[in-house]
């Protein structure tokens, strides 16, 4: 069965907003489409250093175009979503960039074959389009999405609505005319599309529109494939020649896909060899480009973090100098007080029993482990999988800092108002695209009769289990199930990871876990490996 496709050119939306550029931004534009790695570097530099929100949004927009050209459509979507964060839908000055962002998001979704999402993005692009050219581009791309969905009637309606308004622009008129004829033929294989296709081809030849010729030859090759294979082969070869002239390996590959089944047996081998060479080299080049852009971003973020750390160090040094100068007269008094406190503390320490000292150390160790180690690992997990934006990350780090300060002051740990929600969020924060965390039975009624100390200790125990899971288990699915059994609450942890090795020995983390459960009169059982994974049961008394 003949597989038919819609070939429609998608253009970059013009950006005419009045704004002041910087030298780095101008450098990025000068390298665009010539040395895209250099262009990406300078646009990323603008995005990381500028305070002008519109300029940052435009930089991310250009980075997305470069990523999309390299076949990194997910990376392009990420950059476009970052661009949208710097734009205000209430500011008309931002409309052109908003329209361009949504149009590029539509194009990325189209390339990822998510046609419904593409249509939604194109509608947003039309909402913010400020001139006729921008609207025509968005409408044409929207028609492409309908064509890909084989909703030819919707595509034809769009082309009919813009064909008359495009007559003043010969290249645009030829594009709409050729696309309209092609879609009508796709809708009805008996439609005589040849006159319109050839008329569009003649306009493009007169205008020396090579990209337009590329599309026309593709349409004609498809149109003649069944009825006149020799003509189809002629136009497929013409497209192949134009694609080579344009240095467009994607179009060259598509042309070869049409040439190979139409060629004589003696010619197929050379085209087939060329096809495989292009396909492999294109994929290698795109993978290299993706890695290059990722490295550019990583280096920029690392340099930014290093600069912030250096600024922080310099600030702390200046503060130290000021404090030394201001309080130099009180140093002797402070030393005497500190010495007195040390002597008093030492006497008190010697009077304490060995058991009390051991309990104090254990308590402090637990606090450090809970607040610093597990808390920091949880933040690292969320950063690793891009769950935290910059401001969220700073808030989490500040919270860890305040909690670590409170350790020495014996500040009680506040109990969350909504314990089930807080517990679920803590557990599910360890999930990512590789590991799914399911929480079952975590209802408010279950915890109504459990005392606060038991709930607090259980939260830390489960957090320790999740940390060990992330470090060692390689699990894809983790299930934490809560249920009431008589006068006890049963918690069952199960994962499908590598399980516990035969020579396994308890570390400090799991030893502390057992101590915690014992301290609240609970029980914990490591029931051993499942056919694949680990199963742990915890029982807590109900007050």
Each as own residue / partner, the long-range contacts of residues 276-284 (CB below 8 Å, 24 or more positions apart, any chain) are: 278/249, 278/252, 278/253, 279/253, 281/249, 282/249, 282/250, 282/253
Angle (deg, nearest 10), helices 194-206 and 170-187: 160
Q: Which residues contact 409 (CB under 8 A, 6 or more apart)?
A: none
How much is the pLDDT for 14? Answer: 42
- Locate all alpha helices (DSSP H) within 149-248, ordered by sequence: 152-162, 170-187, 194-206, 210-224, 229-246
Q: How confident is the model at residue 430 (pLDDT cuts 50, 70, 90)?
A: confident
Q: Which of 7-16, 227-236, 430-439, 508-517 has the lowest mean pLDDT?
A: 7-16
Four-CA torsion 106, 111, 113, 115, nearest 10 degrees: 20
DSSP 412: P
Which token pair is 130?
């400020």
Domain 417-543: assigned CATH number: 3.30.565.10
The span from the CA of 197 to the CA of 178, in Å, is 5
Q: How confident is the model at residue 7 (pLDDT cuts 50, 70, 90)?
A: very low
Which token pair is 309?
């750390």
Q: How confident is the model at residue 292 (pLDDT cuts 50, 70, 90)?
A: low
388: alpha, beta or left, given left = phi > 0 and alpha = psi -120 to 50? beta
Q: How confident is the model at residue 216 (pLDDT cuts 50, 70, 90)?
A: very high
- Per the CB < 8 A criterion, the answer to whether 470 and 381 are in contact is yes
The span from the CA of 129 to the CA of 14, in Å, is 10
Closest CA to 46 of 65, 62, 69: 62
The span from the CA of 304 to the CA of 300, in Å, is 6
How much is the pLDDT for 385? Answer: 57
Q: How confident is the model at residue 366 (pLDDT cuts 50, 70, 90)?
A: low
How much is the pLDDT for 344? Answer: 72
Model pLDDT for residues 114-166, shown as the tens digit of each residue = 999 999 999 999 999 988 888 888 998 999 999 999 999 999 999 999 998 88
Q: Write down the domain spans for the chain.
A: 352-414, 417-543
* Rg (the chain; Cα; Å): 33
Mean pLDDT of 296-318: 60
How much is the pLDDT for 268? Answer: 82
- Per the CB < 8 A criterion, the answer to whether 125 and 13 are in contact is yes
The span from the CA of 95 to the CA of 56, in Å, is 15
> Who wins on pLDDT, 522 or 330?
522
Q: Which residues of 336-352 are buried (b: 16+ CB within 10 A; e: fewer)?
A: eeeeeeeeeeeeeeeee
280 class by beta-carbon count within 10 Å (0-12 exposed, 13-18 middle, 19+ buried)? exposed
pLDDT over 50 (residue 4)? no
> Who wins on pLDDT, 392 or 244?
244
Backbone angles phi, psi at 449, to 5 degrees: -105, 10
The span from the CA of 209 to the CA of 174, in Å, is 10
Q: List % helix, strand, coil for the chain (3-state, nearest 5).
A: 70, 5, 25
The span from the CA of 124 to the CA of 517, in Å, is 55
Q: How confident is the model at residue 3 (pLDDT cuts 50, 70, 90)?
A: very low
How much is the pLDDT for 154? Answer: 94
> Who wins on pLDDT, 365 or 45?
45
The chain-wide mean pLDDT, for the chain, equals 80
The span from the CA of 360 to the CA of 542, in Å, is 27
Model pLDDT for residues 389-403, shown as the tens digit of each residue = 666 666 666 666 555
Say which residue the tokens 């606060």 belong to.
452
Backbone angles phi, psi at 459, to 5 degrees: -60, -40
Let me know how long the chain is: 543
DSSP 478: E
């Amino acid at each position: 069965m003949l597989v038919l496709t819609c070939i429609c050119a998608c253009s970059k939306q013009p950006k005419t907003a009045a704004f002041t550029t910087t030298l780095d931004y101008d450098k990025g534009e000068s390298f665009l489409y010539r040395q895209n790695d250099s262009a990406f570097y300078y646009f990323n530099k603008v995005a990381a250093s500028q305070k002008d929100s519109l300029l940052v949004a435009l930089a991310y927009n250009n980075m997305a175009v470069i990523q999309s050209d390299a076949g990194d459509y997910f990376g392009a979507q990420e950059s476009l979503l970052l661009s949208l964060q710097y734009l205000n839908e209430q500011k008309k000055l931002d409309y052109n960039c908003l329209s361009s962002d949504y149009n590029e998001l539509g194009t990325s979704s189209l390339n990822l074959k998510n046609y419904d999402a593409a249509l939604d993005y194109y509608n947003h692009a039309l909402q913010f389009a400020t001139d006729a050219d921008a609207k025509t581009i968005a409408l044409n791309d929207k028609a492409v999405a309908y064509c890909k969905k084989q909703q030819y009637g919707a595509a034809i309606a769009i082309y009919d609505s813009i064909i008359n308004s495009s007559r003043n622009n010969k290249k645009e008129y030829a594009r709409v005319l050729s696309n309209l004829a092609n879609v009508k033929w796709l809708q009805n294989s008996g439609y005589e599309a040849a006159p319109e296709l050839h008329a569009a081809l003649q306009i493009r030849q007169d205008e020396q529109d090579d990209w337009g010729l590329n599309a026309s030859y593709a349409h004609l090759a498809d149109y003649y494939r069944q009825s006149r294979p020799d003509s189809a082969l002629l136009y497929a070869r013409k497209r192949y020649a134009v694609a080579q002239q344009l240095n467009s390996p994607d179009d060259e590959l598509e042309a070869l896909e049409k040439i190979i089944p139409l060629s004589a047996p003696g010619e197929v081998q050379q085209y087939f060899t060329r096809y495989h060479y292009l396909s492999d080299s294109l994929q290698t080049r795109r993978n290299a480009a993706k890695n290059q852009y990722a490295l550019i971003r990583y280096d920029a973020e690392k340099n930014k973090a290093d600069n912030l750390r250096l600024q922080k160090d310099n600030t702390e040094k200046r503060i130290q100098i000021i404090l030394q100068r201001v309080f130099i007269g009180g140093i002797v008094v402070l030393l005497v007080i500190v010495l007195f406190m040390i002597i008093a503390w030492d006497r008190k320490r010697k009077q304490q029993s060995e058991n009390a000292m051991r309990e104090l150390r254990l308590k402090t160790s637990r606090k450090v482990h809970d607040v610093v180690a597990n808390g920091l690992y949880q933040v690292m997990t969320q950063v690793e999988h891009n769950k935290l934006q910059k401001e969220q990350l700073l808030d989490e780090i500040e919270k860890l800092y305040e909690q670590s300060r409170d350790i020495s002051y014996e500040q009680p740990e506040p109990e969350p108002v909504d314990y089930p929600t807080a517990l679920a969020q803590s557990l599910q924060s360890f999930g990512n695209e590789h590991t799914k965390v399911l929480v079952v039975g975590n209802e408010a009624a279950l915890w109504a009769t459990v005392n606060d100390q038991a709930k607090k200790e259980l939260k830390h125990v489960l957090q320790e289990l999740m940390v060990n899971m992330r470090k060692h288990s390689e699990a894809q699915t983790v299930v934490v199930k809560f249920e009431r059994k008589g006068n006890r609450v049963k918690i069952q942890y199960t994962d499908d990871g590598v399980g516990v090795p035969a020579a396994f020995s308890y570390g400090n983390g799991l030893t502390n876990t057992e101590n915690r459960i014992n301290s609240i009169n609970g029980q914990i059982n490591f029931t051993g490996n499942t056919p694949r994974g680990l199963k742990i049961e915890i029982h807590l008394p109900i007050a």
